[in-house]
């Protein structure tokens, strides 16, 4: 059994640690301008002008069943959808606002279709809910808000009452956790209490737990669905730590107690979260697979984002990227599901340019080869500990030697504890080849 103990938290994280891989979906009105989900505030677009995206939101090709099939095929076990992003637009039929998809040409509750389709494919369901809201009339203008440069911004704030907005969030979270059955993850986003406003504009201060009334908000959520995994971005520690667009190289630990944490890296295919037509920074297939492997090798999950188009589809580049995961996971998912960071003793044997994961029953060690070497991998310290070795993708045997490479390999490492894996010269056609080691 894996010897790692993860810090206990209120939500049910057992399935999460086993499932490891999920799909993030950022979808909203920003899919129409198709140049970043923050466009409303980046370009300080006034409400009247942003309205055109609402009026033209017509995702006629949206087929949640297709999305769910693609997520499942890619090996993803859960999905987190933006029910509302910072722009304030709701993808669900909320009774507390008119700013929702049912009032656009879409005319349907898009969250409902998502939930039904993904659940039918056996995926767990997560809701992203933005704490920030650049549409709500009671959300006070701050340094991130599209109205921040208005000459009368401070004046406008006099009619904005954060308490009303905090109640709005509780009401909407109640709807989300009442009308759609069992929800597994609630992903709040995000707090910025320490953002410093410009000199002389102190009233524009950032927002944190007091502003959101986060304690009450979380209590509301837990009273409806106690098992929920809730992230930390409401500025109160909950179940989930969420490093964003960053690759971790050690299991995240609690900054005060040092305990191991439940964590999830979120990553994009190309940089932005919403659909960005002209973005050219799409990650290579190798990089995508390495991110997944690296994450699990440090005891974490990967939440990989797709930004669907305004027509309601995954664009061709996103489909290609999902196919990369599909092909790799088809033969290699055994090194991901129910796997975690290898035990410390084994980690000491990790060769260069490789990552280990280990099954949580402790019986199998997976060696992921990031940079394919010529003919041998030397595992110092593993001699006598491995019963059998094979490539995971095709189950073909990897011959092993112990003690030394062979008698002509002058200068090579030797020693009783040395295990030598003999590789074919040609790298198999797998972005990251995996060797499965059956431990004695």
Q: Which residues bind ligand GLC (CB under 6 A)?
A: 26, 37-38, 189-190, 244, 266, 273
Q: How far is the CB of 91 from ligand GLC (least distance, A)?
A: 14
Decide whether 30 or 328 has the Cβ nearer to ligand GLC: 30
Q: How far is the CB of 273 from ligand GLC (least distance, A)?
A: 5
Decide whether 38 or 50 has the Cβ nearer to ligand GLC: 38
Q: How far is the CB of 244 from ligand GLC (least distance, A)?
A: 5
Q: How far is the CB of 189 from ligand GLC (least distance, A)?
A: 5
Q: How far is the CB of 282 from ligand GLC (least distance, A)?
A: 18
Is residue 81 within 8 A of residue 114, CB to CB? The reply is yes
Decide whether 273 or 275 has the Cβ nearer to ligand GLC: 273
Decide whether 188 or 391 has the Cβ nearer to ligand GLC: 188
Residue 386's DSSP bridge partners are: 439
Q: How far is the CB of 145 from ligand GLC (least distance, A)?
A: 13
Decide whether 266 or 293 has the Cβ nearer to ligand GLC: 266
User: Which among 273, 276, 241, 284 is positioned nearest to 370, based on CA atoms?
Assistant: 284
Distance CA 181, CA 126 (A): 11
Q: How far is the CB of 371 from ligand GLC (least distance, A)?
A: 30
Instruction: Tell me the two tokens of residue 375.
Output: 């003919």
Decide whether 107 or 271 has the Cβ nearer to ligand GLC: 271
Distance CA 9, CA 424 (A): 46
Decide whether 132 or 432 has the Cβ nearer to ligand GLC: 132
Helix (H) or strand (E) holding 323: helix 316-332
Q: How far is the CB of 182 from ligand GLC (least distance, A)?
A: 23
Distance CA 394, CA 306 (A): 30
> For strand 78-84 and strand 21-25, is the pairing parallel, antiparallel, or unpaired?
parallel
Distance CA 369, CA 398 (A): 14
User: CB neighbours of 206 closer than 8 A, spacing ≥ 6?
Assistant: 142, 143, 144, 191, 192, 193, 194, 195, 196, 197
Distance CA 182, CA 225 (A): 7
Decide whether 266 or 329 has the Cβ nearer to ligand GLC: 266
Is residue 305 within 8 A of residue 283, CB to CB? The reply is no
Distance CA 129, CA 233 (A): 11
| Coil, helix or strand at residue 417 | strand
Decide whether 244 or 326 has the Cβ nearer to ligand GLC: 244
Query: Which residue's entry shows tokens 């790298």?
Result: 427
Q: How far is the CB of 311 from ligand GLC (least distance, A)?
A: 21
Distance CA 297, CA 77 (A): 18
Query: Which residue's entry shows tokens 């891989």?
Result: 21
Query: Which residue's entry shows tokens 């129910």?
Result: 338
């Amino acid at each position: 059994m894996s010897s790692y103990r993860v810090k206990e938290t209120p939500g049910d994280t057992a399935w999460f640690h086993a499932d490891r891989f999920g799909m993030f979906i950022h979808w909203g009105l920003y899919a129409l301008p198709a140049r970043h989900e923050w466009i409303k505030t980046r370009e300080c677009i006034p409400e009247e002008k942003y309205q055109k995206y609402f009026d033209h939101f017509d995702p006629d090709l949206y087929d949640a069943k297709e999305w769910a099939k693609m997520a499942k095929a890619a090996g993803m076990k859960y999905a987190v959808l933006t029910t509302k992003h910072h722009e304030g637009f709701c993808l669900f039929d909320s009774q507390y606002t008119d700013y929702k998809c049912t009032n656009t040409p879409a005319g349907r509750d898009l969250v409902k279709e998502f939930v039904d389709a993904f659940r039918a494919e056996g995926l767990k369901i997560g809701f992203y809910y933005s704490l920030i809201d650049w549409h709500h009339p009671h959300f006070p203008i701050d340094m991130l808000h599209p109205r921040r440069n208005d000459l009368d911004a401070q004046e406008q704030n006099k009619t904005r009452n954060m308490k009303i907005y905090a109640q709005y969030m509780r009401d909407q979270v109640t709807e989300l956790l009442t009308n759609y059955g069992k929800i597994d993850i609630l992903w709040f986003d995000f707090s910025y209490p320490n953002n410093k406003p410009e000199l002389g504009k102190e009233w524009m201060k950032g927002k944190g737990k007091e502003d959101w009334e986060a304690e009450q908000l979380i209590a509301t959520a837990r009273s409806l669905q106690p098992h929920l995994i809730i992230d930390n971005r409401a500025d109160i520690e909950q179940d989930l730590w969420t490093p964003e667009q960053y690759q971790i190289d050690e299991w995240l630990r609690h900054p005060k107690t040092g305990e191991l944490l439940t964590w999830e890296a979120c990553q994009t295919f190309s940089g932005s979260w919403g659909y960005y037509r002209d973005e050219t920074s799409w990650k290579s297939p190798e990089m995508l697979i390495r991110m997944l492997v690296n994450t699990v090798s440090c005891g974490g999950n990967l939440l990989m984002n797709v930004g669907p188009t305004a027509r309601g589809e995954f664009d061709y580049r996103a489909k290609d990227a999902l196919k990369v995961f599909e092909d790799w996971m088809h033969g290699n998912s055994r090194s991901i599901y129910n796997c975690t960071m290898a035990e410390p003793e084994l980690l000491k044997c990790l060769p260069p340019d490789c990552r280990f994961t280990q099954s949580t029953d402790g019986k199998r060690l997976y060696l992921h080869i990031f940079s394919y070497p010529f003919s041998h991998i030397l595992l110092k310290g593993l001699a006598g500990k491995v019963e059998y070795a094979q490539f995971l993708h095709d189950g073909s045997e990897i011959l092993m030697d112990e003690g030394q490479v062979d008698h002509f390999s002058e200068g090579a490492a030797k020693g009783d504890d040395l295990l030598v894996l003999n590789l074919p010269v040609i790298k198999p056609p797998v972005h990251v080849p995996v060797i499965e080691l059956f431990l004695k």
